[in-house]
Structure 1
Amino acid sequence: MIQRIQTVFLFLVAVSMVLVLIFPIWQQVNPSQTQMATLTAWNLNTIDVESGDVIESELKIFIAILALVSMALALFSIFQYKNRTRQMFLNMMNSLAMVVNIGIIIWTSHSANELINPQVNGAFVLGFWAIFAGMIMNLLANRFIRKDEMLVRSVDRIR
């Protein structure tokens, strides 16, 4: 049934992936406070702090693509409530996509940090932490789906 608690959790996974697409993921300021690097799901921008102009921009579309895949998997999984095993498999694949996305973000931010200010690490901001929130919601959805599956199997055993 679509009105179960796992539907709410899967919807929150999709919302968290939208947050990844909208908000910055990582930021770093160089030691002289003149340039700032900002990583979003779409690109890595180097910005002049004083004028606000973009000095350099690199396209990082693969982060956005993985976030869109995670959002689509979560929304598709909501409507797979009749086949709970398929729903759990989709959620497992969604967790894998989110872990890969986190790995790519950490690798990208580390390599960008080498160019801006290697002595100090940058700060991960809302877009990065939204992925972890999505992973937690995905795990909770899987837990409740498994609970429903166990309930159905126990009822079948009684018949």
Structure 2
Amino acid sequence: MIQRVQTIFLFLVAVAMGLTISMDLWVQEIAASGESYSLSALFMNHTSASGEIISSDSTWYIAALAAFVGFLAIISIFQYRNRGRQMMFNMVNSLLMVGLVALVFLTTKGINSDLGLTESGSYKVGFWAILAAMVCNMLANRFIRKDEALVRSVDRIR
């Protein structure tokens, strides 16, 4: 039964991971020099006041983890016949998303400490999409548990 409510939530997790990969996660602007640092899932760019990229570092590991989380959510959609396995996939996905948030947070804090800045910058849509995906994953697990309880109650009646 692929047309269940948890399928929608798991699909939203995959969409949110797509947003995480394609949008900026964090931006730090230095007011004194006009330079800025921006973190996306693929690159960390240091931009001058005129808009030229001074340096660019790869952050492929963030994109890889986000892509794996999205892929795991898609796999979980098709595990509807085995609700226990589906819940296990979602629990692993939750742990990976917590790790993704921690990875982004530690990366941004490391940049701020290297620069000696007290301001933390601003988190953008890509970062908030990870948190939205965590909520959707939690709701999907809740509805999977409800389905499992319904099946067990029907089996008890027989």
TM tier relative to shorter chain: over 0.9
Alignment match, 2:18:
18
Task: Find the aligned partners of 1:23 and 1:134 in 2 and give their Cα distance.
Answer: 15
**Match status 1:107 vs 2:106:** yes
Task: Find the aligned partners of 1:60 and 1:131 in 2 and give their Cα distance.
Answer: 16
Alignment match, 1:48:
48
Alignment match, 2:131:
132
Task: Find the aligned partners of 1:47 and 1:148 in 2 and give their Cα distance.
Answer: 51
Query: Retained in 2: the 8 A contact 1:30–1:117?
Result: no
**Match status 1:142 vs 2:136:** no
Superimposed CA distance per residue, residues 66-89 of structure 1 (whole angstroms, 9 cap, x where no aligned partner): 100100000000000000000000
Map 1:32-71; keep pairs closer than 5 Å.
Answer: 32-50=32-50, 52-71=51-70
Task: Find the aligned partners of 2:146 and 2:9 in 1 and give their Cα distance.
Answer: 14
Stretches of structure 1 lacking an aligned partner (at least 5 in a row): none
Query: Percent of pairs identical after alignment?
Result: 48
Query: Retained in 2: the 8 A contact 1:13–1:138?
Result: yes
Stretches of structure 2 lacking an aligned partner (at least 5 in a row): none
Compute the displacement of 1:49 (Å): 2.5
RMSD (CA atoms):
0.9
Compute the displacement of 1:117 (Å): 5.2
**Match status 1:88 vs 2:83:** no
Alignment match, 1:31:
31
Task: Find the aligned partners of 1:131 and 1:117 in 2 and give their Cα distance.
Answer: 27
Task: Find the aligned partners of 2:109 and 2:43 in 1 and give their Cα distance.
Answer: 15
TM norm structure 1: 0.96
Compute the displacement of 1:28 (Å): 0.3
Query: Retained in 2: the 8 A contact 1:29–1:35?
Result: yes
Query: Retained in 2: the 8 A contact 1:29–1:117?
Result: no
3-state SS of paired residue (1:25):
strand
**Number of residue pairs the alignment of both structures matches:** 158
**Match status 1:7 vs 2:7:** yes
Query: Retained in 2: the 8 A contact 1:6–1:142?
Result: yes
Letter in 1 for 2:41: A
Letter in 2 for 1:42: L
Compute the displacement of 1:116 (Å): 3.7
Query: Retained in 2: the 8 A contact 1:37–1:116?
Result: no
